[in-house]
Amino acid sequence: MNAIITATELAGDLAGENPPVVLDVRWQLTVAKAAGEPPFDGRAAYAAGHVPGAVYVDLDRELAGADGAAGRHPLPDLAEFGAAMRRAGVSAVRPVVVYDGGQGWAAARAWWLLRWTGHPDVRVLDGGLPQWRGELSTDVPARVEGDFAPVAGAAGLLDADGAAERARSGVLFDARAGERYRGEVEPIDRVGGHIPGAVSAPTTDNVAPDGRFLPAEELHDRFKALGASDGTEVGVYCGSGVSGAHEVLALAVAGIPAALYVGSWSEWSSDPSRPVAVGPDPQ
């Protein structure tokens, strides 16, 4: 099953016999506060207009646990995550489509969590809401309780030690911007740099200017050139497990399975005992 869906395909599915549950996961990293700008309000954006029938899901409160030693967006409590998904109408027998404002990171986080916890049919709207050509709605759909019961997956998740091992024995992609990987700037976390052995692979290079993913063949060739050869175990991390999920999604589009280090750099760099590499090279 393809991990992404076009806006045209979504419109057709919504008019079909078994329409998907649609989740609006609009979110932005709140780094604008320093400039005196108010933080992005996803709920307000949803209220102003959303895909008809879509239900709003809050990334910070429903797709992540509390900021702390495990990172800025650690795994949510599975019972709380399951309750949030059921409130949104998610059931095991209905497909799910998630979208955000176009960047794709937040939608990919929802996609990854649902897939990792056992939902069989989840796709991301390629390019997000800007690709939607139908009318937008301001109506909040009537609540329909779902029955999805998340179960932690046996694979697809890395902790800090697992990420370090993946960098040694397979390939570990760093999905952040190159300047953060090199340690030239670090606007959020304690220190700049990267996990020793990790390969710089900014997730922004996986998409076209309109936010849609590059063709699967191009993505496959890109990741192969970066070290993801056939049979290689692949891991991904980012700042806090959000843009990294977008890279895992890009890898899925390319037909390459990958595990996500959810704690990512926000967890790794918070522990002074863990080594930090700087510069353009993995080591």
> Is residue 121 predicted with pLDDT exceeding 80?
yes
pTM of the model: 0.96
Mean pLDDT of 122-148: 96
Q: With CA atoms as reference, report the closest residue to 71 among 196, 130, 157, 178.
A: 157
Kindly state whether residue 143 falls inside one of the protein's structural domains: no
Same domain, 12 and 118: yes
Kindly state whether residue 207 falls inside one of the protein's structural domains: yes
Same domain, 126 and 217: no
- b/e burial code for range 186-208 (CB count within 10 A of at least 16 → b): bebbeebbbbebbbbbbbbebbe
pLDDT range class, residue 31, cuts 50, 70, 90: low
Kindly state whether residue 279 falls inside one of the protein's structural domains: no
Same domain, 193 and 245: yes
Same domain, 185 and 99: no
> What Rg, from alpha-carbon coordinates, does the chain have?
18
Mean pLDDT of 13-20: 95
**pLDDT tens profile 126-138:** 999 999 999 999 9
Q: Residue 135 has what DSSP assignment?
A: -
Same domain, 240 and 124: no
Same domain, 126 and 175: no
Helix (H) or strand (E) holding 245: helix 243-253
Same domain, 76 and 15: yes
> Is residue 1 predicted with pLDDT exceeding 80?
no
pLDDT range class, residue 33, cuts 50, 70, 90: very low
Kindly state whether residue 149 falls inside one of the protein's structural domains: no
- The region that residue 7 occupies, defined by phi over 0 for left and psi between -120 and 50 for alpha, beta otherwise, is alpha
> Is residue 30 predicted with pLDDT exceeding 80?
no
Same domain, 119 and 165: no
> Is residue 166 predicted with pLDDT exceeding 90?
yes
Q: Are 85 and 114 in contact (CB under 8 A)?
A: yes
User: Which CATH number characterizes residue 120's domain?
Assistant: 3.40.250.10
Kindly state whether residue 32 falls inside one of the protein's structural domains: yes
Same domain, 180 and 96: no
Same domain, 109 and 168: no
> Is residue 125 predicted with pLDDT exceeding 70?
yes
Kindly state whether residue 141 falls inside one of the protein's structural domains: no
Kindly state whether residue 150 falls inside one of the protein's structural domains: no
Catalytic positions, written as ranges: 238
Mean pLDDT of 10-26: 96
The amino acid occupying position 90 is V
Domain with 184, as residue range(s), is 157-268
Domain total in the chain = 2
Same domain, 118 and 45: yes
pLDDT at 32: 43
Q: Token digits for 70? A: 């495990």
Same domain, 124 and 169: no
Kindly state whether residue 281 falls inside one of the protein's structural domains: no
| Helices then strands, each counted (H, E), the chain | 10, 10
**pLDDT tens profile 212-249:** 999 999 999 999 999 998 889 999 999 999 999 999 99
